[in-house]
Amino acid sequence: MRSLFFLPPPKNKVVVIKLKSGNNGANNSFGGNYMKILMVGDIVGRPGRKAAADLLPLIIQEHGVDFVIANGENAAGGRGINREITDEFLRQGIEVITMGNHVWDNREILSFIDQEPRLLRPANYPDDCPGQGYNIFHGPAGRRIAVINVSGRVFLANLDCPFRTVDYILKRIENQADIVLVDFHAEATSEKQAMGWYLDGRVTAVFGTHTHVQTADEIILPAGTAYITDVGMTGPWHSILGVKTSQVIKRFLTQRPGPFEIAAGPIQLNAVLLELDDTTLKPVSISRIMHRVEA
């Protein structure tokens, strides 16, 4: 299978770039009752990359997944992403990699993000930032899948308004996408819930990321948008948000800065499986996935 990528650049032109799908023919479920989309929670450091490498192919096969998105902003030692890891994820079957507030932490990204349309950074960064905040992909059976990445502002950097940014993007891609998926990378649960309700009926799904704790509030909202406050974390299980527990506890006890290192030990993969009616492309179910493996 091949994917087509549409990048709507300035002046409303459309550039079409052919991309090879990374899931090695796992899209064999389409044509049945459902199209299945997997959103993988923040991949943290080497343990997260191992979890993705070991577990993602099994999940794709088990559930007949058609399209995979993953948040990769913590993939390189917990801070940002580099070219090697980006290529590794794409080979594993991840079609789109989203980012967040750590997008610029690894400066290597500046050398390739403009040339990698499958790597998205939050769209509400200033206009002169490199990279792109949304793109449209051709998925199974030619379905046009828009993926939008935005960052919250509560307890995070004071970027452009994420709500108005999504409004702007939806106007730009009107009639160009059959499915619209939003990764809202935000800290506050209230801001995430507000985004879900704000976009209800206007996008296919809103996936919250960033907090590294999977929430149990997955729902299809009244106007038909699938929503979850946080997809969770793919990384070290015995940790505090992916970091060694002793280091985080010490900081709370002493109120002094100290190193934060990625924890070792058992690993986990958190994700959300979204099922769409393959005729209407409306969500029919949203389910949490949590796989844990002892080291």
| Rounded-to-integer distance, Cα 243 and Cα 185, Å | 19
Structure tokens at 247: 């280091």
CB atoms within 10 A of CB 55: 21
Q: CA 183 to CA 174: how far, in whole Å?
A: 19
Catalytic option among 102, 138, 210, 212: 102
Question: In angstroms, rounded to a whole number, what is the distance separating the alpha carbons of residues 186 and 141?
Answer: 33
Q: Distance (Å, rounded) from C-alpha 234 to C-alpha 89? A: 13
Burial class (CB in 10 A: 0-12, 13-18, 19+), 5: middle
Instruction: Give catalytic status of residue 102 as yes or no.
Output: yes
Q: Which residues are catalytic?
A: 102
